[in-house]
Amino acid sequence: MLIFTRKEGQKIRIGDDIEITILDVKKGSVKIGIRAPRGLAIHREEVYQKILQENLSAARSVLNGQGTLDDTVIRLKAHEAPRKKE
Amino acid sequence: MKVETTRFGTIEIDEGKVLNFVKGILGFPNDLRYALLPHKENSPFFWLQSLDSPDLAFVVINPSLIVSDYSFELPEEAERELRLEEGDKAEALVIVTFRNRQNGDARSMSANLLGPVVINVDKRLARQVVLDPNKYPVRYEFN
């Protein structure tokens, strides 16, 4: 891992297009500004962790899920299948 | 090709039907090849069976069957990775999780609307996409 020490207002560049600015530092929290090309996904790590945990639960939960699949009547709200990407 | 699975025994998969994940489903980085198997005739559910781990399978469903207005803008990065071009058909599936309810024995089912699996149907490429957590829940109960 590459480690930098930066002060408020200072920046870091990643490649030509990504600019990270330290906006504010106080009491154990850092406010960061990120300028990056449109279309690059930027998320808090927790979002990934949340999905990852749910994936693990999903994979485990199917061990006994089969009965539920067959018994459940789902309220189908729409019939039209695949949405196209805009 | 013949593939061993824990749930379905040995299955025969047409190589052209294999879904190649450009990135593993989060938490399963080494499983990159899956087959999409219908649960039963007339069932809205499918099984996303890993071809790399016999015991790994997810239940998935077309999200528009659960939430009629489910839509999202595919991040450009994902669009590139899935090599989606003019004329390619994109499809989304969401992963289902089962949970025991506190009362009674009927189990709840929820769909992960935050992290749909997006498929380039024509090129058989897929990946899980991370959407905006302010707009989409990770657990959307639908039964």
The structural domains of chain A, with segments of one domain joined by +, span 1-36
Tell me, yes or no, if A76 comes closer than 8 A to chain B by beta carbon.
yes
For B12-50, what is each residue's pLDDT tens digit?
999 999 999 999 999 999 999 999 999 888 888 999 999
Interchain CB distance below 8 Å, A61 and B98: yes
Q: Could you report the per-residue pLDDT of A5-51, keeping only the tens digit for each? A: 999 999 999 999 999 999 999 999 999 999 998 878 899 999 999 99
Q: What tokens appear for B46 in the block?
A: 């499918």
Q: Determine contact: A17 vs chain B, CB below 8 A.
A: no
CA of B71, closest CA in chain A: separation in Å? 7
Separation CA A51–CA A42 (nearest Å): 15
DSSP code string of B95-110? EEEEEE-SSSSPEEEE
Residues in chain B within 8 Å Cβ distance of A65: 59, 96, 98, 107, 109
Closest CB to A55 among B89, B95, B133:
B95
Q: Tell me whether residues B28 and A55 touch, CB distance under 8 A.
A: yes
CA-wise closest residue to A57 among B85, B5, B96: B96
Query: What is the CB neighbour count within 10 angstroms for residue B110?
Result: 23
Chain B residues whose CB is inside 8 A of the A82 CB are: 62, 64, 89-92, 121
A47 within 8 A of B130, measured Cβ to Cβ:
yes
Nearest chain B residue (CA) to A56:
B27
**Cβ count within 10 A of residue B28:** 20
The Cα of B1 is separated from the nearest Cα of chain A by a number of Å equal to 24
Residue type, B6: T
ipTM of the assembly? 0.93
Interface A:B, Cβ pairs < 8 A: 130
| Among the listed residues B125, B4, B131, the one whose alpha carbon sits nearest the alpha carbon of residue B74 | B131
Q: Which pTM value belongs to this model? A: 0.86
- pLDDT single digits (tens) B82-99: 999 999 999 999 999 998
Residues 6+ apart with CB under 8 A from A49: none
Residue A85 has pLDDT above 70, yes or no: no
Q: What is the residue extent of each domain of chain B?
A: 2-141
Q: Length of chain A, please?
A: 86
* DSSP reduced 3-state for A62: helix
Helices (H), A1-86: 45-61, 66-71
pLDDT over 70 percentage in chain B: 97
Query: Is domain B2-141 annotated with CATH 2.40.37.10?
Result: no
